[in-house]
Structures are given as C-alpha cells and as structure tokens.
Amino acid sequence: MIQLALFARLEAKPGKEAEVEQFLNTGLELARQENSTPIWFALRLSPTTFGVFDAFYDEKGRQAHLNGPIAQALMAKAPDLFAVPPSIEPITVLGLKNAA
C-alpha cells in the first residue's frame, strides 16, 4: 500500500508562471520514467502558486525520487523560476482510493 508522499509548494516569480507550468510538464515526462513513483500530480493552486504531489510504496522510493532527476532539475531552476525556495514536505498517506 502507498503510505508515503511528498508535497512541494512552488511560488513563481512574477512573469515566470508560464515557465513554471512548462517545467512541470517536463517533470511529468521524467516522473513517468520513475518506477518507484506510482503517483505524481502537478498542480496549480493560484495564478502564481504551483504544487507537486507524489506518492511512493516505501521510503527507498521516496529517497530515490528526492535524489533523482526531477529534484535535481527543480533545485537547478529554483533561483530563476521561484520567488522563494521550494517547500518540500514529507507526508504520510492515511487513506487512498485509486480507480486505476
């Protein structure tokens, strides 16, 4: 069962919203290549606030994701795209309904 997740909150710099959206589209392609990341969502929370929610079967998968290409790209792009450093929070999943 999926019990572990991450939530990243991303606040775009003024005028960088479209670039953040494109970055998240690229992130989706990378996430599709991660076998240890069964759930990955890119979110728009407001005109300038974005988020990523992803979930994992175990801590090994979560750590692989945190050290993988998406996280590396996020940190490399952070100074250019985001008004504040990304906030990445570990989450425990208490329940899940998945139709897939």
pTM above 0.85, yes or no: yes
pLDDT of the residue at 1: 84
- Residue 91 is encoded by which pair of tokens? 């989450």
Number of C-beta neighbours around residue 71 at 10 A = 18
* H or E segment to which residue 84 belongs: none
pLDDT of the residue at 62: 96
pLDDT along the chain (100 residues), means of 10: 95 98 95 94 98 96 95 95 97 87
pLDDT of the residue at 54: 96
Q: Which domains are delineated in the chain?
A: 4-92 (3.30.70.100)
